[in-house]
């Protein structure tokens, strides 16, 4: 057989190589993007390009690692662990120890040789990621460092999260990241496919896609391999068969001839055909290597020697032949396949029985050869081999330790997969409990649910908790079982609050009633329950089995303040700062909700301080998002926005967008809506939806998008988002109900579906306890009042349904307090809208005009321009209704200007319509000259003609244009004369011709 191998010279790719070298120089100097993503089909030459590139960089300035392949789950951060271990080998402990001077050594989670990892904390991932970043920056110094991550298409969730963190935060360090991936492996649902679309938008990312070689480059590559030039027909046939793919060119170039030869068409067979000249004994060694090379197509010599079972001389002969044939290449103390595709092809040709035996042999060899693979890989690789070797008992045990390892490294998605594999094997392993350190099946289910919660997979968390609760039963009579049930209930409650599944508050209540009070987790249950009671629509009965309570004749409602205070006390006793921080935030927001803003702010700030001390961005962002709501009610939108944007950037940096990002984004979107940034509001919602939010967060985001879309005049967009809002939802969180009602009322009014709007308003007034949450409560009451105002303007006026709603909303508004200037402004606007309704049934227009003047004053200075603009518009309208000669020019010009600035198309249209009807010139508002009326008509005459075409009488024209009936009659006469029309019917026809209707 003619030896086949890689080209001894680097063919083509000179432009791509120069690009990467320039990119490295610019990244090191901080003048350009820090990350290069190199994609291309399998075999197109990504690895060769990267090898050439790395070879031209200074020694010690490149670290690399590859992602695992062929189904090895449960091993997180694989390429970064390899890179960190290379740094440890080249630079020693000094740069690692320097990171731990001011805190824990989080990198010990990834490199056990650094010592014991810190005590487990619920969210230490942010600090872990920051230490990786700081280590790379420290090692880079001023000379620079390139981090190579190969085969990103095989990356686990944790690896992708860390990569994104580094991409977003290395802009000031002399560090370059180069990551490769197979484009042809990115099917529609591949997680990397969606991630690449997001990463492409980052200014720090450059994307490079490798295509096939040209016909000339293909011939040049083959000539370099063969040692002679190709004939023209050979070159044409080679390019036709290989498609310019360098790997296939290598395989074909080793054949004696390929013009008219019977050459396999499929890539797999083509790669295997290049091995046809190998001795079967040598090929068998290659098959053994393919089974064991699970880490970047690499296998250690000692591991291969033990499983191959050959004498040293026979093994060395086989390996020499495989290296000469370029099937394997020497790689450190082991071997690497020429290409991962070749490894896959050889792996797939192993017969089932042999496949099983070899996997089992490798699993046992890993036990027999301590240190042959790094400790962080051992459990995951053994789990893979034992499972493929059909040894379920040992596969279960290895999967358990892989889950423990993944949880220690804060890789929760990988921990979930390994826990579920343990559960999958459980029934087939009689001594399963002993193999998982004495944990029961229910406890493993509970740990899997915890991993699902931490990774943001709330549906899976709920399903696992359901299964665990069914198993433990309701009649658990020993403390361990009661604790297991309480923990499962608490975790299911957490999942259900994210899924709009009845909020899960009943789970928290039951968990509290059975959870042993002395258990450290009791304070956490109390803090979660306090949070939900605060948000719950209806009072929740206190069912704890306490003597004093059992003597009461009727249940007493749980009190969020009491629960939060008790949670703070219990948490401090147990040293649980996580639960204490959460409870402080809850107690603080309860106080702010009750009007005690300063007292509540101090508590929330203390909770945020604790969250920062324990490096817990999830808790910190929850507190900031809640706090921002009350800042907005005080008109402190600037502070709210700054804090929320900082929180969102923090979450984005550490890869926690899907779990906490949507909640922060919702509050930021609402802040932007309040300040009139409609387009920014909608863009933020769109981005947050791409982070795969929970169903509850998806509904919250939809409410913000509906309101902004309606204001922009985008009814189709509003309807699309409204599809995610269920007005009949069983969701019992009062904020969810209020936001849903407010958004849907806006949409129904825009659609002029007044019957539906009135029905929803009536239902809300009956069911929602507005006084429990006056912040959103006043917003909804205001929208209900607007519904009544618009209904009153219809030709038939207020219907009996509207009268009933009016009576209800008057009662609710009278009973509600208003805390802070924003709620006071909503109350003033509500009164003004209801004054407009009264104006249709006896009250004077002057009263309504006065109410709108008060509303304009209330909104002034709050930084909420569109709210003030709408009040200005309605104050102008009712001033004209009270006095047809009222001067409203400046008011209408300001409304048009503000509405145009913020893209509030509907408000702008209403203002322009009123200006047209009243003859107000708007040039001063927008700098645009008004369009000249057609046919020599004055602006006022054009407006009268428009109404004539609609069949208005003189009296109706007068009312519409705020003029006297006699004046309207004069205008009609002038129009008929100017247009030489015989009568009003002719005027209607002419208006259509002139485009006025």
Rounded distance, CA 923 to CA 99, Å? 63
Rounded distance, CA 974 to CA 958, Å? 15
Burial code (b: 16+ CB inside 10 Å, e: under 16) for 128-142 equals bbbbbbbbbbbbbee
CA proximity to 635, closest of 824, 863, 827, 871:
863
Q: Which helix (H) or strand (E) holds 266?
A: none
Sheet holding 175-182, edge to edge: 62-66, 145-150, 175-182, 35-40, 205-209
pLDDT of residue 835: 93
Q: CB–CB of 741/787 below 8 Å?
A: no
pLDDT of residue 228: 84
The per-residue pLDDT for range 851-880, each reduced to its tens digit, is 999 999 999 999 999 999 999 999 999 999
For 836, phi then psi, to 5°, come to -65, -35
Rounded distance, CA 625 to CA 627, Å? 5
pLDDT of residue 544: 46
Place of tokens 């896609």: 209
- Do β-strands 145-150 and 175-182 pair in parallel, antiparallel, or remain unpaired? parallel
Rounded distance, CA 970 to CA 941, Å? 10
Enter the DSSP assignment of 541: B
pLDDT of residue 238: 83
Q: What DSSP string runs through 4-25? A: ----SS--S-HHHHHHHHHHHH
The per-residue pLDDT for range 195-243, each reduced to its tens digit, is 887 777 777 888 899 999 999 988 888 888 888 888 888 888 888 878 8
Rounded distance, CA 361 to CA 386, Å? 9
pLDDT of residue 791: 92
pLDDT of residue 930: 55
pLDDT of residue 399: 94
pLDDT of residue 72: 59
**Dihedral angle of Cα 533, 537, 542, 544, to the nearest 10 degrees:** -60
Residue spans of the chain under pLDDT 50: 1-5, 70, 541, 544-556, 730, 840-842, 924-925
Rounded distance, CA 104 to CA 118, Å? 6
Total-model pTM: 0.72
pLDDT of residue 658: 64
Q: Is 437 helix (H, G, I), strand (E, B) or coil?
A: coil
């Amino acid at each position: 057989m003619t030896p086949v191998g890689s080209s001894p010279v680097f063919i083509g790719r000179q432009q791509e190589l120069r690009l990467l070298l320039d990119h490295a120089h610019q990244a090191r100097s901080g003048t350009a993007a820090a990350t290069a993503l190199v994609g291309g089909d399998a075999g197109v030459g990504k690895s060769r390009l990267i090898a050439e590139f790395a070879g031209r960089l200074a020694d010690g300035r490149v670290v690399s690692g590859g992602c695992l392949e062929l189904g090895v789950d449960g091993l997180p951060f694989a390429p970064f662990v390899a890179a960190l271990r290379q740094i440890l080998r080249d630079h020693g402990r000094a740069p690692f120890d320097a990171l731990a001077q001011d805190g824990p050594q989080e990198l010990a989670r990834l490199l056990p040789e650094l010592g014991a990892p810190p005590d487990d904390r619920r969210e230490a991932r942010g600090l872990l990621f920051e230490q990786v970043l700081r280590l790379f920056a420290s090692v880079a110094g001023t000379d620079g460092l390139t981090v190579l991550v190969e085969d990103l298409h095989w990356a686990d969730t944790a690896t992708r999260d860390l990569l994104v963190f580094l991409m977003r935060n290395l802009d000031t360090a002399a560090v370059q990241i180069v990551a490769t991936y197979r484009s042809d492996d990115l099917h529609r649902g591949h997680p990397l496919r969606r991630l690449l679309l997001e990463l492409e938008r980052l200014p720090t990312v450059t994307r490079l896609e490798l295509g096939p070689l040209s016909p000339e480059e293909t011939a040049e590559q083959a000539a370099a391999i063969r040692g002679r030039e190709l004939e023209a027909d050979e070159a044409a046939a080679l390019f036709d068969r290989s498609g310019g793919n360098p790997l296939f060119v290598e395989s074909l170039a080793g054949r004696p001839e390929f013009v008219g030869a019977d050459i396999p068409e499929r890539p797999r067979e083509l790669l295997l055909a290049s091995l046809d000249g190998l001795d079967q004994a040598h090929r068998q060694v290659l098959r053994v290597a393919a089974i064991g090379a699970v880490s970047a197509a690499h296998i250690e010599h000692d591991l291969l020697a033990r499983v191959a079972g050959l004498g040293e001389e026979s093994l060395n002969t086989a390996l020499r032949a495989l290296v000469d044939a370029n099937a394997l290449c020497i790689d450190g103390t082991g071997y690497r396949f020429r290409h991962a595709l070749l490894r896959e092809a050889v792996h797939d040709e192993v017969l089932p029985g042999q496949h099983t035996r070899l996997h089992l042999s490798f699993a046992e060899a890993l036990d027999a050869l301590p240190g042959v693979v790094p400790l962080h890989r051992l459990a995951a690789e053994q789990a893979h081999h034992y499972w493929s070797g059909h040894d379920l008992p040992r596969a279960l045990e290895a999967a358990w330790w892989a889950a423990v390892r993944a949880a220690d490294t804060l890789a929760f998605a990988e921990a979930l997969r390994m826990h579920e594999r343990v559960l999958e094997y459980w029934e087939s392993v009689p001594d399963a409990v002993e193999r998982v350190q004495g944990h029961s099946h229910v406890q493993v289910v509970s740990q899997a649910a915890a991993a699902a919660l931490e990774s943001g997979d709330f549906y899976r968390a709920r399903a696992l908790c359901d299964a665990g609760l069914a198993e433990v039963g309701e009649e658990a009579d020993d403390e361990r079982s009661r604790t297991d049930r309480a923990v499962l209930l608490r975790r299911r409650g957490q999942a259900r609050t994210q899924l709009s599944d009845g909020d899960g508050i009943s789970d928290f209540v039951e968990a509290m009633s059975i959870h042993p009070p002395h258990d450290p987790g009791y304070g956490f249950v109390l803090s979660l329950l306090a949070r939900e009671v605060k948000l719950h629509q209806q009072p929740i009965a206190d069912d704890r089995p306490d003597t004093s309570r059992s003597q009461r004749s009727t249940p007493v409602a749980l009190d969020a303040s009491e629960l939060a205070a008790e949670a703070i006390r219990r948490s401090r006793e147990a040293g649980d700062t996580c639960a204490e921080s959460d409870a402080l935030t809850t107690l603080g927001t309860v106080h702010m909700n009750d009007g005690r803003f300063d007292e509540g702010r101090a508590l929330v700030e203390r909770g945020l301080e604790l969250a920062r001390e324990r490096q817990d961005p999830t808790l910190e962002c929850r507190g900031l998002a809640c706090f921002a709501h009350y800042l907005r009610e005080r008109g402190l939108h600037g502070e709210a926005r700054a804090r929320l944007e900082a929180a969102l950037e923090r979450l984005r940096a550490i890869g926690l967008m899907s779990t906490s990002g949507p909640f922060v984004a919702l509050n930021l979107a609402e802040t932007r809506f309040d300040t009139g940034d409609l387009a920014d509001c909608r863009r933020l919602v769109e981005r947050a939806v791409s982070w795969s939010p929970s169903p509850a967060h998806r509904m919250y985001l939809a409410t913000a998008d509906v309101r902004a879309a309606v204001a922009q005049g985008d009814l189709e967009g509003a309807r699309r988002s409204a599809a995610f809002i269920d007005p009949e939802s069983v969701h019992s969180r009062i904020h969810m109900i209020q936001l849903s009602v407010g958004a849907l009322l806006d949409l129904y009014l825009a659609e002029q579906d007044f019957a539906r709007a009135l029905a929803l308003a009536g239902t809300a007034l009956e069911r929602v306890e507005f006084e429990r949450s006056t912040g959103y409560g006043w917003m909804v009451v205001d929208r209900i009042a607007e519904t009544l105002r618009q209904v009153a303007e219809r030709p038939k006026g207020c219907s009996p349904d509207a009268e009933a709603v009016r009576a209800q909303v008057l009662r609710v508004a009278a009973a509600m307090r208003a805390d802070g200037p924003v709620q006071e402004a909503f109350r003033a606007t509500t009164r003004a809208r209801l004054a407009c309704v009264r104006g249709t049934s006896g009250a004077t227009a002057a009263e309504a005009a006065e109410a709108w003047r008060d509303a304009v004053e209330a909104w002034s200075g709050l930084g909420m321009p569109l709210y003030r603009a709408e009040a200005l518009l309605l104050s102008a309208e009712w001033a004209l209704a009270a006095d047809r000669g009222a001067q409203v020019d400046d008011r209408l010009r300001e409304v048009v200007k503000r509405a145009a600035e913020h893209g509030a198309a509907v408000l702008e249209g209403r203002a322009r319509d009123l200006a047209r009807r009243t003859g107000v010139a708007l040039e001063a508002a927008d700098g645009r000259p008004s369009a000249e009326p057609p046919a020599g008509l004055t602006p006022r005459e054009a407006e009268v003609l428009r109404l004539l075409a609609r069949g208005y009488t003189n009296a109706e024209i007068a009312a519409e244009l705020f003029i006297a009936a006699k004046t309207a009659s004069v205008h009609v006469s002038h129009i008929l004369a100017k247009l030489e029309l015989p009568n009003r019917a002719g005027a209607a026809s002419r208006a259509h011709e002139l485009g006025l209707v």
